[in-house]
């Protein structure tokens, strides 16, 4: 027992140094002021939080939450069947399936995103093919739209949803499905009462990873959305690097973290209550 506690010391020190202390600094910075030159004035104020309630920033924040939720839902709908197929396939197919899913991680994130710029721009590959086949008369405006941002988000974060669901399905006790089949349960009923509840942990992990990663992403919106698509992460970046308004950027960061935690807790509670109802119904 003492040895296990001793082994936790490096982890706790790492978290304190790179997570807790920076977060405390950001929280403290959010209550400071900024002078005309962009320097931080150590004087308590709530101006950063008051500015957040401007209709402009509220609208951008709402768009961020909507885009993150939609991306998470699409990733879940696409990833679950894929993870289910890989988990129930032969060992050879499982190996190749996992390799194909992780291949995007072998390429730099910026290069992967810029590849979509080459595909979706006016003179890009997609428009060129559509023009050559005669399906369109003039190039379509696909780049610098919300659809392009959504496509880039889903493409980049699908592996974060597939892998946790695959792990949960692969570790599931298959004997429960055999028992359900022997008792006369249909495949859909066995999936709804056994497979889906057993994969709940993978679904929750994948949804949290995709939602948090999407809502904090600014590279995809910069490259695929341009000035027409803004997320709260883009505003935070501009406040720290461009406008030099660190107190306001810190306030936005704190609000973003609190909102994400609340949504994650609500989602966790909803998943647990649904699983409890499923267990009561099966009983």
- 103-264-51-26 Cα dihedral, nearest 10 degrees: -70
Distances in Å between the alpha carbon of 64 and those of 164, 220, 267? 24, 13, 17
Token output for 276: 């409890």
pLDDT at residue 1 tops 70 = no
Q: Are 154 and 82 in contact (CB under 8 A)?
A: no
Distance CA 90, CA 29 (A): 54
The backbone torsions φ and ψ at residue 40, rounded to the nearest 5 degrees and listed phi first, read: -80, 130
Among 84-98, 178-192, 229-243, name the one with the lowest average pLDDT: 178-192
pLDDT class of 136 with cuts at 50, 70, 90: confident
Is the pLDDT at 198 greater than 90? The verdict is no
Weakest-pLDDT range from 21-35, 59-73, 227-241: 227-241
Mean pLDDT for 71-76 is 95
Average pLDDT over residues 124-140: 88
d(CA 192, CA 261) in angstroms, rounded, equals: 28
Phi (first) and psi of residue 41, to 5 degrees: -105, 120
**Token duo for residue 13:** 């020190």
Who wins on pLDDT, 7 or 145?
Answer: 145
Q: Are strands 40-41 and 33-34 parallel, antiparallel or unpaired?
A: antiparallel
Q: Assess contact for 206 and 76: CB atoms under 8 A.
A: yes
User: What is the value of pTM for the model shown?
Assistant: 0.85
Question: 41: which strand partners?
Answer: 33
Q: What is the percent of the chain with per-residue pLDDT over 70, rounded to a whole number?
A: 94
Q: Which residues contact 259 (CB under 8 A, 6 or more apart)?
A: 61, 65
Domains in the chain, start-ordered, CATH in brackets? Answer: 54-106+159-217+227-282 (1.10.3720.10)
């Amino acid at each position: 027992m003492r040895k296990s506690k001793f082994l936790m010391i490096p982890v706790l020190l790492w978290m304190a140094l790179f997570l807790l202390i920076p977060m405390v600094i950001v929280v403290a910075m959010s209550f400071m002021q900024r002078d005309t030159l962009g320097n931080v004035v150590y004087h308590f104020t709530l101006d950063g939080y008051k500015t957040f309630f401007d209709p402009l920033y509220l609208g951008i924040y709402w768009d961020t939450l909507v885009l993150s939720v939609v991306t998470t839902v699409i990733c879940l709908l696409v990833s679950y069947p894929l993870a289910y197929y890989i988990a129930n396939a032969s060992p050879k197919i499982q190996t190749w399936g996992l390799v194909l899913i992780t291949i995007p991680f072998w390429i730099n994130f910026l290069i992967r995103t810029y590849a979509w710029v080459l595909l979706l721009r006016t003179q890009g590959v997609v428009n060129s093919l559509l023009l050559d086949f005669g399906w369109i008369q003039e190039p379509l405006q696909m780049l610098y739209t919300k659809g392009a941002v959504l496509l880039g988000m889903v493409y980049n974060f699908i592996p974060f949803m597939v892998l946790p669901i695959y792990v949960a399905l692969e570790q599931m006790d298959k004997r429960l499905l055999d028992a359900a089949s022997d008792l006369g349960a249909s495949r859909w009923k066995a999936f709804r009462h056994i497979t889906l509840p057993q994969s709940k942990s993978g679904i929750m992990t994948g949804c949290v990873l995709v939602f948090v990663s999407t809502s904090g992403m600014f590279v995809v919106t910069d490259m695929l959305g341009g000035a027409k698509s803004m997320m709260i992460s883009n505003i935070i970046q501009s406040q720290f690097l461009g406008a030099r308004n660190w107190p306001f950027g810190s306030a936005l960061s704190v609000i973003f973290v609190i909102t994400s935690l609340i949504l994650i807790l609500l989602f966790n509670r909803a998943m647990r209550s649904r699983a409890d109802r499923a267990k009561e119904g099966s009983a």
